[in-house]
């Protein structure tokens, strides 16, 4: 549990985001956001409550909401489309999540652990989901009919009549140069740093992978020069 000064600091981080004043204009307490919220149907979560906590600067309850509640939001942004004040509760949640990660909250680490596979794929390949991730053993609840034609995944992917899609470990074939450009973006925008804060082991794996790819790219560039 954080002390009051720390909680105040977290709130200050949230409201110093340049989007904050754009996403929060006040609140009429009409509840239209919660009415349309898929997560409110399922969780003890209410976008109106998030907006109220931020608007009334209730730093203790904001801190509390950041432990669990903000992770319930499905980010569909229906709330933002409906709010008569043009607030974006979903946008505010996105800011709060960024702050939870920047501050390395343990709750954020716990919540994101099962999501690691997607992050690994994304950061290293620029794709977020690949054919080899959607195997029946990964998603037993998707049932035995996850595919209607049995066969080797590689062959089934080759049977897609579009060259870029004939891949197994990425959604489409991403050129090496493209990947390396993306690593630069990750580095320059602090994404790798927040990843390190969140999950050191995952970060190590990703770092090794990126280094390898970069070397491949250097080699490829040299080959091009020689040609």
Partner 1 sequence: MQGDASDTVLVVGAGPAGLSAAASIAAAGFRPVVVEKEDVLGGAPILSGYAKLVPSGEWAKDAIGRMVARVEQDASTTVFKGTKVTGFEGEPGDFTATLSNGEHVKAGAAILATGFTHFDSINKPEWGFGTYEDVLTTTQMEQMVAGGKIFCPSDGRVPERVAILLCVGSRDRQIGREWCSKICCTVSTNLAMEIKELSPTTDVFIYYMDIRTFGLYEDKFYWKSQEEFKTKFVKARIAEVTTSGDGRLLVKGEDTLVKRPIVIPFDIVVHAIGMDPNEDNPEISKVFGVGLEKHGFIDRAEFYTSTCGTTRRGVFAAGSCYAPETIDDSISQGHAAAARAIAELHALARKKAG
Partner 2 sequence: MNPTDNTPGNHNANGDGATKPGFHNTDGQGIAGHGSFFQETNLSREEAVKATDWVRKHVDRRTVDLGDRMDDIREHMWELEREGEIIVHRITDAHKPMTVRTLFGWEKKIPTNQLWHHKSCGQCGNIPGYPTSLLWTMNQLGMQPGRDYLDETDQTSCTAWNYHGSGIGNVESLAAVFLRNFHQAYISGKQHGFDAGHFFPLVHCGTSFGNYKEIRKYLIESAELREKVKKILGKLGRLVDGKLVIPEEIVHYSEWVHVMRNRIASELQKIDVSNIRVTAHVACHYYKMVHEDAVYDADVLGGNRTAIITSVAQALGAQVIDYSTWYDCCGFGFRHIISEREFTRSFTMDRKIRVAREEANADVMLANDTGCVTTMDKNQWIGKTHEQNFQVPIMADIQFAALACGADPFKIVQLQWHASPCEDLVEKMGISWSETKKRFQEYLKEVEQGNIEYLYNPELAYGGAQ
Residue 32 CA to residue 88 CA, distance in Å, equals: 12
Our finding on whether 121 is near partner 1 (CB under 8 A) is: no
Min separation Cβ 15 and partner 1, Å = 21
Among positions 14, 49, 94, 210, the unique one binding partner 1 when judged by CB under 8 A: 49
Give the whole-angstrom CA distance, residue 179 versus residue 171. Answer: 13
For the stretch 206-214, contacts whose Cβ atoms lie closer than 8 Å and that sit 24 or more positions apart, written own/partner, are 206/120, 206/123, 206/124, 209/124, 210/123, 210/124, 210/183, 213/124, 213/176, 213/179, 213/180, 213/183, 214/180, 214/183
Selected binder of partner 2 within 1, 84, 163, 226 (CB under 8 A):
163
Tell me the site size for partner 2, rule CB under 8 A.
81
Which of partner 1, partner 2, none does residue 25 bind to, with CB < 5 to 8 Å depending on kind? Answer: partner 1
Residue 155 binds partner 2 (CB under 8 A): yes
Q: DSSP 3-state assignment of 1?
A: coil
The region of 3-11, 49-57, 139-147, 215-223 touching partner 2 under the rule CB under 8 A is 139-147
Question: How far apart, in whole angstroms, are the C-alpha atoms of residue 106 and residue 109?
Answer: 5
Among 11, 48, 170, 203, binds partner 2 (CB under 8 A): 170
Determine, following the binding rule CB under 8 A, whether residue 138 of this chain makes contact with partner 1: no
For 46, the 3-state DSSP assignment is coil
Interacting residues with partner 2 between 103 and 132 (CB under 8 A): 108, 111-112, 114-115, 117-119, 122, 126-131
Judged by beta carbon, residue 31 or residue 151, the one nearer partner 1 is 31
């Amino acid at each position: 549990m954080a002390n009051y000064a720390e909680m105040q600091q977290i709130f200050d981080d949230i409201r110093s985001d340049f989007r904050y004043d754009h996403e929060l204009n006040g609140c009429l307490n009409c509840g239209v956001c919660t009415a349309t919220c898929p997560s409110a149907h399922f969780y003890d979560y209410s976008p109106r409550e998030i907006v109220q906590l931020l608007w009334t600067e209730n730093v203790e309850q904001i801190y509390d909401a950041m432990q669990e509640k903000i992770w319930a939001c499905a980010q569909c942004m229906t709330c933002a489309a409906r709010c008569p004040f043009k607030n974006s509760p979903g946008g505010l949640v996105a800011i709060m999540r960024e702050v939870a990660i920047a501050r390395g909250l343990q709750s954020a680490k716990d919540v994101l652990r099962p999501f690691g596979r997607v992050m690994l794929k994304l950061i290293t390949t620029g794709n977020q989901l690949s054919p080899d991730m959607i195997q029946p053993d990964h998603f037993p609840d998707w049932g035995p009919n996850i595919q209607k034609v049995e066969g080797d995944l590689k062959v089934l992917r080759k049977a897609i009549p579009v060259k870029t899609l004939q891949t197994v470990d990425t959604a489409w074939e991403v050129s090496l140069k493209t990947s390396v450009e993306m690593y630069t973006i990750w580095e320059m925008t602090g994404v790798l740093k927040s990843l390190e804060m969140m999950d050191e082991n995952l970060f190590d794996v990703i770092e090794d992978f990126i280094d390898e790819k970069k070397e491949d790219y250097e080699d490829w560039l040299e080959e091009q020069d020689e040609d």
